[in-house]
Amino acid sequence: MGIAANQIKFGTDGWRGVIAADFTFERLTMLATLAAEVLAQNYGDVENNRLILIGYDRRFMAEDFARAAAEAVQAAGYDVKLASGYSPTPALSWAAKAQKALGALVITASHNPAKYLGLKVKGAFGGSVAPEITQQIEALIPQGQRVAETPGTLEEFDPWESYCEGLRACVRVEPIREAIVAGKLKLWVDVMHGAAASGLSRLLGTQVEELNCDRDPLFGGGAPEPLPKYIPELLAVVKAAAERGEGEMRVGLVFDGDCDRIAAVDGQGNFLSSQILIPILIDHLSRARGMTGEVVKTVSGSDLIPKLAELYELPLYQTPIGYKYVGDRMMAVPALLGGEESGGIGYGHHIPERDALLSALYVLEAVVESGRDLGEFYAQLQEKAGFFSDYDRIDLPLAGMDVRQRLLERLQSEPLVEIAGQSVVDCLTVDGYKFRLTDGSWLLIRFSGTEPVLRLYCEAANLERVREILEWARDWANSV
């Protein structure tokens, strides 16, 4: 008997659910066979390729769920290669393309809290499948799990080896390794108990100091998301090293649970989101490496990004929020890079996928080759572009979906004309409502599609002004 279609719904990057309540062996094995069928329908070729790759992160029982999914897909008539251990999600995307598979199924809940697990579906091209593909999977759910008369094969493989080889080919690794070995570069990596563990050590060929590298399915009581509130140890370690004057250069890096998002810490212990890393990467790849191509940003990306794109004569394209939109654009045109404010950054010369380890290598390459601290690097870019700003975001829980509806109706019927003492000069509605004010600052108001949460994003001349605008937006939301 099939499972009701409305019980499983794919979001912006896969399906996630609470372990044992929503995410069960029965549901996963059923869904895995349907995903394999849809991948075959969309990416199959005349050679009758039947290969599906399956990998997993370090969450609770992830390897057991992956094994069950692999056996179910094998029983459905597909040849399966199951990862022999945990690995980054981008490694599975890389393998799907490199091995000419139909696609890859990754058992992960990314940056979500410990009680969640999920399934990401990757296509033969090496990136997340489009919403049309996941809709096809959802449409098959009432029919239930598939079983073939003739099962396929099942073997294990190591996703790391080919993936690391591919990343090393993109980056000048040796100068980074030499700087670490010589003690010039002090590097700390917070892998947040996730799938990035051992990654940079493998890539650089030398031991890198990792924080939270043990497997902890509870993630220390937090969530494996690269945000300041979840990385107090990394911030403290780098600040203490700065006070002691350790190393000519100091860098902290942090990855999310399945290693497709990144953030950094500069030599003084300041947190750097991708709003800061993307401009640094644009400068490094374009100016220092001589690369070209379109810069793809989401509507929540910093205004420094288009200013640098203009400075370096690079085309710019803006998408709704969500890496699937960025990835789709990057597959359509020659792109330099594409990124989102939540830490996902990808590259046109690589697979169309967020890849935190490749971003980490490029960040380290930029520091070592320039001899500049990340904080100094960013400050000089602001000076060069003549643009100075700060950014922050808050997620505001709402009392219910009815409140969400009232707020949405208010935005549509009574458009905001003044925000925090400044007139609204225009409103962009590509994704939510992005209000640009007379002082050059902007406020983006977006709603979660699945839960009663209001997302508020702001960039302004300084942090004080950012907080003032966000507080105004919070008060406005609470008054409706």
- Number of domains the chain contains: 3
Q: Are 192 and 232 in contact (CB under 8 A)?
A: no
- What is the three-class DSSP state of 442? strand
377 with 400, same domain: the answer is no
Mean pLDDT score, 189-202: 98
Boundary (domain end) residue, out of 385, 418, 436: 385
Distances (CA, A) of 173 to 127, 164, 194: 25, 11, 23
Six-digit token string for 70:
């692999």
313 with 239, same domain: the answer is yes
341 with 405, same domain: the answer is no
pLDDT number for residue 452? 84
Max mean pLDDT range (160-174, 323-337, 440-454): 160-174
Any domain includes 165? no
Structure confidence at residue 10 as a pLDDT band (50, 70, 90)? confident
Boundary (domain end) residue, out of 100, 133, 159: 159
3-state SS, one letter per residue, for 154-194 = EEEECCHHHHHHHHHCCCCHHHHHHHHHCCCEEEEEECCCC
Structure-derived torsion over alpha carbons of residues 283, 285, 289, 294, reported in degrees to the nearest 10: -110
90 with 66, same domain: the answer is yes
Any domain includes 437? yes
443 CB contacts (<8 Å, ≥6 apart)?
A: 419, 434, 435, 437, 456, 457, 458, 469, 470, 473
408 with 469, same domain: the answer is yes
* Helix H or strand E segment including 422: strand 422-428
Report pLDDT digits (tens) over 395-420.
999 988 889 999 999 999 999 999 99
pLDDT number for residue 439? 95
**What CATH number does residue 421 fall under?**
3.30.310.50
d(CA 323, CA 111): 14
Any domain includes 296? yes
Whether the pLDDT of residue 267 is over 70: the answer is: yes
Structure confidence at residue 335 as a pLDDT band (50, 70, 90)? very high
User: In Å, how far from its chain's centre is CA 116?
Assistant: 17
d(CA 155, CA 436): 54
208 with 263, same domain: the answer is yes
Any domain includes 164? no
d(CA 119, CA 28): 8
**What CATH number does residue 88 fall under?**
3.40.120.10
d(CA 50, CA 268): 51
Boundary (domain end) residue, out of 124, 159, 194: 159
54 with 130, same domain: the answer is yes
pLDDT number for residue 146? 86
Q: Are 454 and 398 in contact (CB under 8 A)?
A: yes
For 459, the domain range is 390-479
137 with 192, same domain: the answer is no
Q: What are phi and psi of 235, to 5 degrees?
A: -60, -45
Residue with tokens 């599975």: 92
Any domain includes 203? yes
pLDDT number for residue 5? 35
269 CB contacts (<8 Å, ≥6 apart)?
A: 235, 236, 238, 239, 242, 252
210 CB contacts (<8 Å, ≥6 apart)?
A: 188, 189, 190, 191, 197, 198, 201
d(CA 163, CA 169): 10
CB-based burial of residue 45 (10 Å sphere; 0-12 exposed, 13-18 middle, 19+ buried)? exposed
Report pLDDT digits (tens) over 204-215.
999 999 999 999
Query: What mean pLDDT, rounded, does the chain reach?
Result: 94
Report pLDDT digits (tens) over 35-65.
999 999 999 875 668 999 999 999 999 999 9
d(CA 260, CA 33): 25
6 C-beta neighbours (distance < 10 Å), count: 8
Residues in the chain: 480
Q: Is the model more confident about 11 or about 337?
A: 337
Mean pLDDT score, 220-227: 94
DSSP secondary structure, 113-161, as one string:
-TTEEEEEEEETTSSBPPHHHHHHHHHHGGG-----SS---EEEE-SHH
The predicted model scores a pTM of 0.94
356 with 208, same domain: the answer is yes
Any domain includes 47? yes
Q: 264, 392, 282: which is closest to 339 by C-alpha?
A: 282
